[in-house]
Amino acid sequence: MKKTVRDIDVNGKKVIVRVDFNVPMKNGVITDDVRMTAALPTVSYLLENGAAVILMSHMGRPKGQPDHDYTLKPVADHLAELLDREVVFAASDLVVDETVRAMAKKLQPGQVMLLENLRFRPEEEKNGENFSKELASLAEIYVNDAFGTAHRAHSSTAGIASYLPAVSGFLIEKELQFLGQAVDQPKRPFVAILGGSKVSDKIAVIENLIEKADTIIIGGGMAYTFLKANGCEIGNSLCEEDRLELAKELQAKAQAKHVKFLLPVDSKLGDRFAEDCATMFAASREMPAGWMGLDIGPDTIRLYEEAVQTAGTVLWNGPMGVFEMDAFACGTKAVAVALAESDAVTVVGGGDSAAAIKKFGLEDKISHVSTGGGASLEYLEGRVLPGVAALEDK
Ligand code: AMP
């Protein structure tokens, strides 16, 4: 267990907090502030408990040099509205310099300051020692609440923790609690639903979950590599020819561990990869040549819904079909709704499945939707996240 802001005295202290304010922007306007609102409980807690708060984040990919298209100034303005208090913006291309140090020194309990985009400095992504020290020099306590970048060892997520007492914020605490419980102490049966385009991206997740889950359900483009490995003709569906052996091995491993491994029994096919293509349904053993599987079919939906209905824990990562096209969004929507209606503990990995939950307006009906796509995937692979490992143990 990692220490959190609750485990240390922040009263009268300067606290530097790594948040994930990497928000989508269009023409200088923030189009979705959910990442900012997700950090508010930690920021408010620190302010209410007498800390002076210095926030830091990256935004976009400014290539390790100042690029004012990626300034955090609009984020500072919006944060001031959300917190209903002044937010001092430290507008320095160097992120930390003499002026910023002086501003930090002057900061009083209850005041908030936001640093400029961390990625204006090339050292940030290299976990540069000097930059880590520069950031640490601004404060007395370090808090990490940026789960979305916790799988990266950067100056602001890992290096800085060597120089200050380091604890997690509430967002990282919640992520670790839900992901950790789902994977390591699941209420059983534990059903893991994995989708997305490629088997190769999910091998480590599948291998890790074979050790932990009772049922593994496969959907999305990667299902067709498994189906072909099992002798089905899959037409023009996605297939990783060099993973056919692996697909067989993974199923054999699951069988040896008595883990149910469910593949689509039918699909919705298109005659091309396009929204306006001709469509048809076919059983997995009867897919015609020239067509491609772009979504799971109705019998598969029923099968997967049943597995969710009887589960104690459901973990979902990756869409069941090309959900960006309405014609092939049915399977993904059905799984999302099944999770929303289930009494099980439901945990959705970030990225596309989180986007799908949002698209269908079901966020409030899921136990936990992760804020970090890459980070949650690495966690599900059983890997240690550097941004978490750097924090102090309880
Ligand atoms: P990933 O990038 O691996 O997380 O996979 C997500 C992408 O997989 C989404 O953009 C989906 O459109 C795509 N996808 C899901 N199912 C299929 C499928 N059957 N064929 C092709 N692409 C798919």
Q: What is the DSSP string of 66-120?
A: --GGG-SHHHHHHHHHHHTS-EEEE--TTSS-HHHHHHHHHPPTT-EEEE--GGG
Tell me the Cα Rg of the chain: 23
User: Where in the chain does DSSP place strands (E)?
Assistant: 14-18, 25-26, 29-30, 52-56, 87-90, 112-115, 141-144, 166-168, 190-194, 215-218, 260-262, 266-270, 279-283, 292-296, 313-317, 345-348, 368-369
Options 35, 202, 212, 268, the catalytic residue: 35
Q: How far is the CA of 327 from the centre of ligand 1 (A)?
A: 14
Options 73, 198, 358, 365, the catalytic residue: 198
Q: Residue 305: what are its φ and ψ, rounded to 5°? A: -60, -45
Helix 298-309 with 330-341: angle, nearest 10 deg: 20
pLDDT at residue 373, as a whole number = 87
Task: Give the position, in ligand 1's atom list, of the atom nearest the Cα of 294.
Answer: 19
Q: How far is the CA of 266 from the centre of ligand 1 (A)?
A: 17
Q: What is the pLDDT of residues 157-179, one digit of tens each?
A: 999 999 999 999 999 999 999 99
35 is catalytic: yes
- pTM comes to 0.92
Write the CB contacts of 182 (distance below 8 Å, at least 6 apart in sequence).
Answer: 190, 313, 315, 345, 347
Mutate to test the pocket of ligand 1, among 266, 322, 380 (most ligand atoms within 8 A of CB): 322
Q: Residue 360: what are its φ and ψ, rounded to 5°? A: -90, 5
pLDDT at residue 391, as a whole number = 98
Burial (CB count <10 Å: 0-12, 13-18, 19+), residue 231: exposed
Mutate to test the pocket of ligand 1, among 193, 194, 197 (most ligand atoms within 8 A of CB): 197
198 is catalytic: yes
pLDDT at residue 63, as a whole number = 87
195 is catalytic: no
Six-digit token pair at 132?
Answer: 């880590």
pLDDT at residue 250, as a whole number = 98
Q: How far is the CA of 370 from the centre of ligand 1 (A)?
A: 19
Six-digit token pair at 19?
Answer: 């948040």
Write the CA distances from 73 to 79, 88, 382, 389, integer angstroms.
10, 10, 37, 31
Q: Which residues line ligand 1 (CB under 6 A)?
A: 196-198, 201, 220-221, 238, 293-294, 318-319, 321-322, 324, 351-352
- Over its length of 394 residues, how does the chain's per-residue pLDDT go in tens digits? 999 999 999 999 999 999 999 999 988 899 999 899 999 999 999 999 999 999 999 999 998 899 999 999 999 999 999 999 999 999 999 999 999 999 999 999 999 999 999 999 999 999 999 999 999 999 999 999 999 999 999 999 999 999 999 999 999 999 999 999 999 999 999 999 999 999 999 999 999 999 999 999 999 999 999 999 999 999 999 999 999 999 999 999 999 999 999 999 999 999 999 999 999 999 999 999 999 999 999 999 999 999 999 999 999 999 999 999 999 999 999 999 999 999 999 999 978 999 999 999 999 999 999 988 899 999 999 999 999 999 999 9
Q: How far is the CA of 274 from the centre of ligand 1 (A)?
A: 13
Q: What is the pLDDT of residues 8-22, one digit of tens each?
A: 999 999 999 999 999
Write the CB contacts of 141 (distance below 8 Å, at least 6 apart in sequence).
Answer: 8, 10, 13, 14, 15, 16, 51, 164, 165, 166, 167
Options 64, 110, 312, 374, the catalytic residue: 374
Indicate the SS3 state at residue 356.
helix
pLDDT at residue 328, as a whole number = 98
Six-digit token pair at 142?
Answer: 């370090």
pLDDT at residue 181, as a whole number = 94
Burial (CB count <10 Å: 0-12, 13-18, 19+), residue 185: exposed
Give dist(CA 233, CA 227) in Å, integer. 8
Q: How far is the CA of 319 from the centre of ligand 1 (A)?
A: 6
Indicate the SS3 state at residue 64.
coil
Residue having the nearest C-alpha atom to atom 20 of ligand 1: 221
Q: Is the CB of residue 175 less than 8 Å from the CB of residue 4?
A: no
374 is catalytic: yes
Cis peptide before 109 (omega within 30 of 0): no
pLDDT at residue 198, as a whole number = 92
Residue having the nearest C-alpha atom to atom 4 of ligand 1: 196
Indicate the SS3 state at residue 36.
helix
Q: How far is the CA of 305 from the centre of ligand 1 (A)?
A: 20
- Which string of DSSP letters, residue by residue, matches 157-198? TTGGGGTS-EEE-HHHHHHHHHHHHHHHSPPSSEEEEE-SS-
Give dist(CA 219, CA 211) in Å, integer. 20
